[in-house]
Structures are given as C-alpha cells and as structure tokens.
Amino acid sequence: MARPRLSHILPLLLVPALIGCGRSGDAPAPPPPPLSDAAMKAVVEDPGTNREGLARAVDALFTDPAATETRAVIVMRGGRIVAERYAPGYHENTRFVSWSMAKSITGVMIGMLVSDGRLRLNESAPVPAWQRPGDPRGEITLRQLLQMRSGLKHVEAGDPVYQSDEVRMLFLDGRDDMARYAEDQPLDSEPGKTFRYSTATSVILSDLAARALAPVPDADHRRRAVAEYLRTRLFEPAGMRSMLPEFDAAGTLIGGSLIHGTARDWARFGEFLRNKGSVRGAQIIPRQWIDFMTTPSPRQAQYGAQIWLNRTPSGKDRPALFPDRGPKDLFACIGHLGQYVLVSPSRKLVVVRLGKTPDDKLGAVTGHLADIVDTFR
C-alpha cells in the first residue's frame, strides 16, 4: 500500500485548529460604545487614573437602567474634584436630602461633645426617662447607642409601611416629638448584645446633644443651640456652607434622616472623614473619634459608630457595600434610596452618589461604585 503523502495529511491536521478559531467564544470582544461628550467632560484632563475608564464608570451610573435614577456623582482624589456630573435639572447648587447619611454627621457631633466633656462615651446615656430607679434602660451607654446595640425595641422597615417605627416617628404619631417616641420604647434585648439598625437611635443621640447644649427645654432654644454648634464646629470649618439641618416641633435635630446639602458639600464631609477630622491642618475633632467611628461594632462587622464599613457582614445580613472588591479601609455614609458618600483613606478617594433608587435594587449602583473605586488602584 502506498504511504500517504505529508501534503495530504497537513490539511486534515489543521481542521480542528481552524474550527476552534471560528468559535464565537474565542472571538475578540467588541469595542465598548463611544462615550458621549457629557461623559468625557465630567472628568478632568488628568484625574490620576485612566480618564476614559473613569468616565465610563461614572457614565454607567447615569445610563444603566438598573441604576436609575442617579442625580449627582462627584469623585475626589487627594482633595481635588476629578469627576463631577449631574442629571438634567440638578447642578452644583442643588441641595440633596441626606436620608440616613445624616447619622454620620450626628456621630461626628456626638464625638465633639464627648471631646468637650459634655457627654461620656462609656456611661449611661443621660436620658431622664431612663434614670428612674429600676428602669433597665438606664444600663444603655452612649457607646451602645452609637453602635446600634441599645437593645431598644424598633422596627426600621415595616410591612405595611405604617407599622415601621421609623415611619411612625418621622411622619405619623411620633413626628412632633421624635425623641420622646424613640425614648419611650421598651427593651426587647439586653443592652449591648444585639445589633439593630435604628433611625430612632440617632434621634435619641440628637436629643442628648440638644440637652447638653441647651438645658432649657424650649424648642427654639434647642434648635438654635444645635444649629449653631453644627455651623461653627463642623459646617463652616469644613467648608460645608450649604448644609441645612431639619428639626422637629420639639426642637430636636432629625439626626437620623434629614440634613440637606449640595453634592460638593457631601464630598467635603467625606474629605473631612478621610483626613480624620483635620481641615487645613486644624484638628476639628480628635483623630481617635474617627478611628472609633470606623472600627467594627462588637455585634456587626460591617457597621462602626453611625457609619457603614466595607466588611463582610455578621450573621445573615446582606453586604451594604462591596467587601469582595473594595479596599478594607473603605467606609461610607449611606442613605435611603441610594445616597452614598464613600471614603477610602488608602486610595485618597471620596465618591459621592446621590439619587433615587429603590433600596431593593441597589445592586447595580454599588457595582458601578465599586468600578469607580477600582479605577484608582
């Protein structure tokens, strides 16, 4: 039998390779769509990272239907705004509501009062109603309130919504004196033993601030004293001049939910936290207090003291951020409907996202925020 010639065999040997080259899985990925002029103009010429990559990550927050609706984004690197973009109808002078980002401002205010010697972190929280003999709530410390482990009964999100203590306190039967509503709640667990996220707790902290600053129980006096303290001790030194806090009819700061400010001023607050309370060389609050705020609570690894941490959550809670991607030192002020001030000291980074996205659909938003953080490795 004649031997097959090599010239006849080679084409057969090449068939599998040629078939493999034709597989769609091995085809080069199509190039990403071109960015709009608005997307590129939102980023400075030299942002300290790939300009187009940053522009694309910011643009996704505005164009991805799953992230609807983003109203403002600011990225600061080393104290400099490197990206800033607004949805139509919003601009640099628009005040945005904080929702629960206000809790972090309340946490800073309490730290200043502790530093002043007006409040004590490890002593019983000075709520008059809790100081009666035999009241177990007298065991609740200021530290436990800050870390959301007071043990007080609370339902943050109810079904139906009007059964939520947060809604009742803010908008229904508790709205005129929110602190009284919050402080009247009984214990349903031992103080310090259980983490329970609670807007009412931040209102109690706001009430303690008002009592420390304005002992006279007059609503106007309380309101003026707290507003002036925030203005002179935090807002003006940090350059946050647009900030507008709201108060209830009893003169209590609505310190868990309602402080308004521009996107730039929310970014300035993030920068204040990134620099551990230092502004232009002046230490506005002890650095140790910011360290305390950003240290995991004993009962919830992804929560510190009135601030969220980029850590794997304890128990069955869902991650508030993206612990599988972002740096471990990243922390955030987070508010209802997708308000974020992200801070990473190691990357010298502050990212602000403000908008209106249902809380159960924030996965796309946090994913795009992680993309922005990832551009600054």
What does the pLDDT look like over 3-41, one tens digit per residue?
A: 444 444 444 444 444 444 444 556 677 778 889 989 999
Q: Any idea what DSSP says for residue 184?
A: T
Q: For residue 18, how many other CB atoms are within 10 A of its CB?
A: 9
Q: pLDDT digits over 116-152, tens only?
A: 999 999 999 999 999 999 999 999 999 999 999 999 9
Q: pLDDT digits over 238-272, tens only?
A: 999 999 999 999 999 999 999 999 999 999 999 99
Taking the C-alpha atoms of residue 365 and residue 354, their distance in angstroms, rounded to an integer, is 10
Q: pLDDT digits over 281-315, tens only?
A: 999 999 999 999 999 999 999 999 999 999 999 99
**φ and ψ at 376, to 5 degrees?**
-110, 65
Q: Which residues are CB-contacts of 239 (< 8 A; sequence separation ≥ 6)?
A: 265, 268, 279
What is the separation of C-alpha 219 from the centre of its chain, rounded to a whole number of angstroms?
Answer: 29
Q: In Å, what is the CA distance from 118 to each residue of 111, 112, 153, 292?
A: 10, 9, 27, 18
Taking the C-alpha atoms of residue 331 and residue 108, their distance in angstroms, rounded to an integer, is 14
CA 198-230-111 angle, 5° bins: 60
Q: pLDDT digits over 319-356, tens only?
A: 999 999 989 999 999 999 999 999 999 999 999 999 99
Residue in 116, 74, 108 with CA at minimum distance from that of residue 278: 108
Q: What is the pTM of this model?
A: 0.91
Helix ranges (H only) for the chain are 6-21, 37-41, 51-63, 102-115, 142-146, 165-171, 178-183, 199-213, 219-230, 263-274, 287-293, 363-374
Q: Any idea what DSSP says for residue 231?
A: I
User: Could you give all domains of the chain from N- to C-terminal order, each with its CATH number?
Assistant: 98-238+249-257 (3.40.710.10)
End-to-end CA distance of the chain: 67
Burial of residue 360 (CB within 10 Å: 0-12, 13-18, 19+) is exposed
Compute the average pLDDT of residues 67-80: 96
Taking the C-alpha atoms of residue 63 and residue 266, their distance in angstroms, rounded to an integer, is 23
